[in-house]
Chains A and B, each alone.
Chain A
Amino acid sequence: MRLYTKFTLYSAISKILIVGIFVVFVPSVIERLADSHTDAQLVHMKNKTLAIVNRVGVKEFIEQEKDSVLNSYNILKEEFISIEQIAEPEKLGEVIQNTQRTIEDENVDYRVLSLTFKSGTQYYLLEVGKSLNRVELVQDYLRNLAWYLLLILLLVTVIIDIMFTRFLLSPFKLIEDKLKKTNHPEKFDFSSISSNTSDFKYLDDSINEMMHKINDAFMHERLFISNVSHELLTPISIIKNRLENILVEKLPEDVAMRVIETQNTLTRLSKIVNALLLISRIENQQFLKGEEVSVKDLVKEVVDEIEDRGSETNISIRVEINEDYLLRNANRYLLFTMVFNLVNNAIKYNIRNGSIEITGKFIDRNFQLIVKDSGKGIPSENIKSLFEPFKKIRKDKTDSHGLGLPIVKTVADFHGIQIQVYSQVNEGSSFVLVFP
């Protein structure tokens, strides 16, 4: 998962968590808030009433009314105050609770502050009430306000989070893009990114430095290969040309034969050196990959080139490629070498009057080129080491240097082609190239 996605996800989850906490706690908090607000109002009303009572005197205060009870409601029955004389209560004091009162045949819920007190020898009950409807109204109002506030805050923080994450991570994305564009350290864009986040700076600088080191190593190896090839091939070249010049002289036949044998030995040496250099060069990325190669054409070219080699042992080559495949970003010369070596082996290790089938088709969405021979096959214990340099499975074949298949493997790797080998002793082998 991408870092940016992770951040966004994390931010979303944390927001949801906060909302969850809010949903669980807000109603009770609001309720408590509203209650304490109401209670404070009730206490305030009580204190005011008591002040009047103190000034006027309880008796006088009540006697303004009949029944020795004072009942005062406001018109909307939102509040009331009452004082009455009572018998001696169990204890004096102040209680706040919710109760229902019937006023003018209407049941109304109130939050009521009840205070019992003694004045002279008489006990009195003072009640101050506030309609719960009114309280709930306040609660609703507060709750709505809280929700809206929450929503707005949530939106704002989400937007800020996303923008900020994007902004913060933008240098990271630049680094990532740089790496994505690079399929080889040589192609790396060494310009450093602009960021004041020291972590990113460090990351970018480190990557640049590593790439420089890798490039240096590549350059070093390239120079080494170039020098090795010069140092090895120049003496070979001298001997080769000298032998050619010697052969032109009038020589006794046996001497001439030995010169030719020497030439053959020299060819063997130079083929090994060239094969090793080829492998190193491919691994060192010294070959360009800018061509588009049609597998069908390639196979035809190889078969045209090689067909004659099978004529001596009467080997038939059948090609069946109904669907062509275009390999992009390829090196034609290398691919030719790869297919040539496979078909050459199929001829070399075949039996007299044998056959070779070259099939190209799509299997499971991948194009596969199969080179199947009717040869002697490869024992299964040898298949694993088939592509190792200088592993010659067939000890009787002394005229090859054992680098053909390693070259095939290197070229295949270079192009992202997979190789599978199936073989049955005395029935033949199939080399399968699975194209990307």
Chain B
Amino acid sequence: MNVLIIEDEIALSKELEVFLKKEGYVCELARTGKEASEKIYVNSYDFILLDLGLPDYDGLELLKEVFKATKEASVIILTARGTVDDKVKGLNMGADDYLAKPFSLLELQSRMHAIIRRKHGLKKSILPIKGFNIDIDNRTVAWKEEQVNLTKKEFDLLHYLVLHKNRVLTRLQLTEHIWGNLMDDDFDSNYIDVHIKNLRKKLSAYEESDWIETVRGLGYRANIG
């Protein structure tokens, strides 16, 4: 899949590129609005990651141009200015999602996944994992025919671990995913451990859940072959 990263901060776009390349995306970078507005007419992209705060271009103007130039591209707005209007305006103009900086790369990836699922209408919304069936659309988990009674947060955790299977997710990444940009004043909490403990307990009632591994000191990993 082709991704155009429109971002004036080179260091940042480089990190995005490193990450996305590993995930199998083909990346192109545009540092200015001018550069970007040329690229969108020449090449076709599946994703456009757009930083609204470009020095030479009004981000929302560029967004308009993007939609004029291409119909296929999904746009995710990235911004550090985060004025309240921007988010609403951007989404109203047809952007697919919005991430406020600083965001986690994994979060970006899972948003992109969600967009792909939505756009390309992936039929299979049931993920079979180790005897459990995760219904992504209805946000439920079943063991055979039986519903496993998970809380909203527990489901989100399980889904995120499975989505990024075989990869260590730090507590921080998990916290950010399930609590989002919530403005609480905790920055080092062990709530994730509690959630994982509860999640394991609930799953173990049906089937061994040791595939959710605690990676000592680092975080958690869903080991799925």
Contact = CB atoms under 8 A, between A and B. Distances in A.
Interface of A: 222, 226, 229-230, 233-234, 236-238, 240-242, 244-245, 247-248, 253, 256-257, 260, 263-264, 266-268, 270-271, 274-275, 277-278, 281, 286-288, 304-305, 307-309, 311-312, 337, 340-341, 344, 348, 399-404, 407
A275 B183 contact: yes
B189 A399 contact: yes
B81 interface: yes
A304 B83 CA distance: 28
Nearest to B197: A312
A14 B154 CA distance: 79
B83 A399 contact: no
Contacts of A257: 217-218
Contact of B53 (A230, A242, A245, A268): A230
B188 A264 contact: yes
Contact of A260 (B106, B152, B172, B191): B172
A230 B81 contact: yes
B185 A244 contact: no
Contacts of B170: 247, 260, 263
Interface string B62-74: 0000000000000
B81 A241 contact: no
Contacts of B82: 229, 233, 277
B79 to A, nearest CB: 8
Interface string B162-192: 0000011010110000000111111111110
B151 to A, nearest CB: 6
Across chains A and B, which 7 residue pairs bring their CB atoms closest together, nearest first?
A: A404-B185, A237-B102, A241-B15, A233-B80, A237-B101, A399-B188, A268-B187
Given A233-B101, A247-B170, A308-B195, A341 B84 contact: no
Interface stretch (B16-24, B134-142, B205-213): B16-24
Nearest to B187: A268
A253 B217 contact: yes
A267 B168 CA distance: 18
Contacts of B188: 264, 267-268, 399
B91 interface: no
A184 to B, nearest CB: 14
Contacts of A230: 53, 80-81
B182 A337 contact: yes
Interface in B1-51: 9, 11-12, 15-16, 18-19, 22
A340 B184 CA distance: 8
Nearest to A253: B217
Given A311-B194, A337-B183, A248 B22 contact: yes
A288 B103 CA distance: 24
Q: How many B residues are at the interface, by size bracket? A: 35 or more
Given A241-B104, A242-B11, 20 more contacts: A222-B83, A230-B81, A237-B80, A241-B105, A244-B104, A257-B218, A260-B172, A264-B188, A266-B102, A270-B102, A278-B183, A288-B84, A305-B152, A308-B154, A308-B191, A337-B182, A337-B183, A341-B183, A400-B187, A401-B185
B153 interface: yes
A403 B185 contact: yes
A245 B101 contact: no
Given A241-B105, A244-B105, A263-B172, A281 B84 contact: yes
Contact of B181 (A229, A247, A264, A274): A274
A334 to B, nearest CB: 9
B106 A244 contact: yes
B198 interface: yes
B185 A226 contact: no
A247 B219 CA distance: 11
A257 B152 CA distance: 29
Contact of A226 (B81, B101, B189): B81
A402 B7 CA distance: 33
Nearest to B172: A263
A357 to B, nearest CB: 21
B185 A240 contact: no
